[in-house]
Amino acid sequence: MRKAGGIVALIAGIFAVIAAFVTLMIGGTAAAFEADGSETVVLLGWGGVLFSFLVIVLAAVTMGAESRKPAVLLILCSAAGALLGGTLVAIFMALAMLGGILGLFGPPRAAETPV
């Protein structure tokens, strides 16, 4: 289950990066036309980029981890990304949170014995 959760979160993180750059593009376009609140949209875009990259890293760590700590950090990071990344990023962070939950309930990885 951990490997499946890591793969789900990894795919969600990649799509969240794309969504964060779309948010940045929308905020930059709004700033060019001097729209109200455009700075907030740009900040949401940067928050989405930050937490999306953290989700990608934690998803990769969750796939090979022996403990549940990376999965817990993945859940916390996806929740923070959903709050601080904007609406487009939040959609994919929900999927990343599902991947973190799958990684949390996976059995512990068996230690490899040398042959």
Residue 113 domain-assigned? no
Q: How many domains does the chain have?
A: 1
Return the pLDDT at 110.
63
The string of DSSP codes covering 62-103 is HHH-SSSHHHHHHHHHHHHHHHHS-HHHHHHHHHHHHHHHHH
Residue 35 domain-assigned? yes
Q: How far apart are CA 96 and CA 39, in angstroms?
A: 26
Return the pLDDT at 113.
57
Task: Mean pLDDT check: name the lowest of 4-18, 27-41, 61-75, 100-114.
Answer: 100-114
pLDDT at 1 over 90: no
Residue 8 domain-assigned? yes
Burial degree of 50 (CB within 10 A; 0-12, 13-18, 19+): middle
pTM of the prediction?
0.86
Return the pLDDT at 37.
87
Residue 115 domain-assigned? no
Residue 17 domain-assigned? yes
Return the pLDDT at 112.
53
**pLDDT confidence of 105, banded at 50, 70, 90?**
confident
Residue 112 domain-assigned? no
Residue 110 domain-assigned? no
Structure tokens at 105: 């309930």
Percent composition of the chain: helix, strand, coil (DSSP 3-state, to 5): 80, 0, 20
Residue range(s) defining the domain that contains residue 30: 2-104
Residue 114 domain-assigned? no
Q: How far is CA 101 from the centre of its chain?
A: 13
Q: What percent of the chain has pLDDT over 70?
A: 93
Q: What is the pLDDT of residues 52-94, one digit of tens each?
A: 999 999 999 999 888 889 999 999 999 999 999 889 999 999 9
Q: How far apart are CA 20 and CA 41, in angstroms?
A: 10
Which residue has better confidence, 38 or 79? 79
